[in-house]
Amino acid sequence: MSQPESSSPAAIELDGLTVNLGGRPILVDLRASLRGRAIGLLGPNGAGKTTLLRTLLGFFPPTAGSAEVLGFSLANEGKQLRAQIGYMPENDAYVAGMTAVHFVRLMAELSGLPPEPALERAHETLFYVGLGEARYRKLGTFSTGMKQMVKLAQALVHGPRLLMLDEPTNGLDPPARKRMLELVTDIRDRGEAYIVLSSHLLRDVEMVCDEVMILKNGRIAATCDLEAERKANRSFVELELQASSDQFARELTELGCELAVHETGRMKLVLPKGRTVRDLYTVADRLGVGIRHLDLKRDSLQDIFLRAMEDDNGGV
Amino acid sequence: MAVYERTWRRYQGELTSLRRRWLVVTRYALSDTFASRIFTAFYAVCFLPSVVGLFFIYLSHNASLLQQLGMPADVMSILTEKFFMILFLWQAVPAFLVAVIVSPSLIAADLSNNALPLYLARPIDQREYVLGKMAVLAILLSPMTWIMGLLIFGLQAYLEGGGWWLQNYRIGLAYLVGHLAWIVVISMLTLAISAWVRFKPVARGALFGIIFILAGFAQAMNEVTGTSWGDLLNLVRAINSVVMSLFGAPTPSGLPVLFNWLTLAAATALSIWLINRKLRPHEVVR
């Protein structure tokens, strides 16, 4: 898998980061240099995604190794670092008795904004996330979707350089999920803030992120620059023949295709650069082989994820 | 950027001082506290003992008014330590009630819906968060206790003149140190309860339980053992003894006053430990 370009400064630099909690290793020797504008943290439940975010926020002290976020050292520049971060936790997080605007303003002031700009930005941010009309309602009366949006608003209000979103689409219905992802994509496209999106939903990560780190059992199972993968546009083809043909397989190999043949006649292959699906049809026509089904797809995040999960060693 | 634009941009303006950031916690908690008109009215009533004390001192130095009211001219003679001790008690009781009313929601409100990580994900740490919450109680309780106490002491010294203040400096010291000690102990204790008990009525009950049931238990312990060691568990007697010793009066506890100070210090330390255990930026799943 391709790695991100090394010219841009790393948003997150992990150097052997290890975190033990309750005597158990949760994150093990994480080493990565994440340079994407929108970084996805993928992994099954319990892989260590949330622990990594919390460690980067200074909630858990590293047992070994170190990390830098936006050039700030986790070990001795925690406060300066947290001033640059907007954090949206996975679970509900609000003060029930407060109105939305009061709550978001409080969070802005805690991040260092003077009272007046904090109030101004609280209003603006609530309108931005679509809660303008509900901003004087108490948070305890909000629906799940509205609470998610308030969490996003409080993470955005102080204009952070890095936005950490932990499962932001949790509990959202399809329209609300779409709205949330549109907002995150909009923030990404403005280019004013880095985004770290932790999720187990591949589609969310694929839609928003340009770089992905896949965690498995607290280790990095894979990192990949999705943007580069998209540009490389490696073509994967699944095809099914009317009858299996060794000759057809041999000819495809000669064309430079990497392929796996199933005894039922089904094939999975990767087209080399310069070759197209048309070449496959040409070969089939020349050999008189009937193609029953053909599906062309690029190397999706799902494939990358599944490969990473299959690798028992958890290596990149 | 206007709200109708519905857009987002980074904040490039000035930031407030990192050192004073914890005061935001205090300011918001105070504003929430005074949002209740009933509380505001009750808080004003809590100043009544001090106002009465001030009036009494003024009265005692106004011979013509005393004569009109038919009071003896030597009423001054009762303005001794006893007057100030009684006034101290009448200031401490409302202060305790204010702490009981305000404190249960100070930390519990942030913990009950998991808002604490949002505070601690910002440039503010656990210590500053607790300091901010404690300052709420200090700001609420100080004016009605030691500040008014010192004001009354100052008025008496001014009207009396001469070397009265020098002869009675212990009164001023007792007001300052005694009330501050009580504020620190009661603040930490109530914050600890607020951190562990999320329901206000239960938290208030727990506070009364710790203060008064423990006092009863301590008394029973004294009776059974025939000693005064039970006083180590009696917060009321401990603060009472400390204040009495500051006034230079005999203490109600059978233990040396140092032990009473130790009781208060232990209660504070235990409260801090309990707060520290509970205030984590994440839920501990066992």
Closest-CA residue in chain A for B12?
A159
Close Cβ partners of A144 (under 8 Å, ≥ 6 residues apart):
A171, A172
Separation in Å, CA of B271 to nearest CA in chain A: 22
Separation in Å, CA of A227 to nearest CA in chain B: 24
Q: Rounded to the nearest 5 degrees, what angle is found at the Cα of A270, between the Cα atoms of A269 and A273? A: 145
Separation in Å, CA of A126 to nearest CA in chain B: 9
| pLDDT (mean) for B49-63 | 89
Q: Which of A2-11, B4-13, B276-285 has the highest mean pLDDT?
A: B4-13
Tell me: the pLDDT tens digits for B209-243? 888 888 899 889 988 988 889 889 899 999 999 99
Phi, psi of A300 (to 5 degrees): -80, 165
Residue B76's pLDDT is 60
Give the pairing type, strands A162-166 and A194-199: parallel
Best A95, A123, A149 residue to mutate vs chain B (most B CBs within 10 Å): A95
End-to-end alpha-carbon separation of chain B, Å? 46
Let me know: does B144 contact B95? Beta carbons within 8 Å: yes
- Where do the structural domains in chain B lie, given as residue ranges? 19-278
Least confident segment among A220-234, B6-20, B152-166, B197-211: A220-234
Distance CA A226, CA A217 (A): 22
Domains detected in chain A: 12-84+161-230 (3.40.50.300), 235-298 (3.30.70.100)
CA of B211: how far to CAs of A37, B91, B108, B208, B237, in Å? Answer: 56, 18, 20, 5, 10
Mean pLDDT in order along chain A per 10 residues (316 residues): 55 94 91 92 90 94 94 91 94 92 97 95 94 94 94 95 94 91 92 91 89 92 80 74 84 87 78 84 90 76 75 50
Chain A residues closer than 8 Å to B25 by CB: 110
Q: Cβ of B120 and A85 within 8 Å?
A: no
Residue in B113, B114, B118 closest to A107 by CB: B118
| pLDDT (mean) for B141-151 | 95
Q: Cβ of A127 and B3 within 8 Å?
A: yes
Q: Greatest CA separation found in chain B?
A: 77
Least confident segment among A5-9, B52-56, B195-199: A5-9
Closest-CA residue in chain B for A97?
B109
**pLDDT confidence tier of residue B286, bands split at 50, 70 and 90:** very low
Residue A7's pLDDT is 54
Query: How buried is A305 (Cβ within 10 angstroms: 0-12 exposed, 13-18 middle, 19+ buried)?
Result: buried
| pLDDT (mean) for B58-74 | 81
Chain A residues closer than 8 Å to B12 by CB: 159
Asked if the model's pLDDT at residue B190 lies above 60, the reply is yes
Distance CA B46, CA A101 (A): 32
Q: Cβ of B10 and A109 within 8 Å?
A: no
**ipTM score assigned to the predicted complex:** 0.86
Distance CA B271, CA B190 (A): 8
Separation in Å, CA of A124 to nearest CA in chain B: 5
Residue B58's pLDDT is 87
Chain A residues closer than 8 Å to B3 by CB: 123-124, 127, 132
> Would you state the structure tokens that stand for residue A133, as one six-digit string?
């009309």
Residue in A87, A109, A159 closest to B24 by CB: A109
Local structure of B247: helix, strand or coil: helix
Residue B1's pLDDT is 57
Q: Rounded to the nearest 5 degrees, what angle is found at the Cα of B25, between the Cα atoms of B21 and B31? A: 130
Q: Which residues of B lie inside 8 Å of A (Cβ-Cβ)?
A: 1-16, 18, 21, 24-25, 28, 32, 105, 109-110, 112-115, 117-125, 280-283
**How many percent of chain A have pLDDT more than 70?**
91
Best A69, A110, A123 residue to mutate vs chain B (most B CBs within 10 Å): A110
Closest-CA residue in chain B for A103?
B28
Let me know: does A218 contact A45? Beta carbons within 8 Å: no
Distance CA A158, CA A110 (A): 9
Separation in Å, CA of B15 to nearest CA in chain A: 5
Helix (H) / strand (E) element for B54: namely: helix B48-60
Q: Cβ of A96 and B118 within 8 Å?
A: no
Closest-CA residue in chain B for A91?
B114
Asked if the model's pLDDT at residue B200 lies above 70, the reply is yes
Give the pairing type, strands A64-69 and A266-271: unpaired
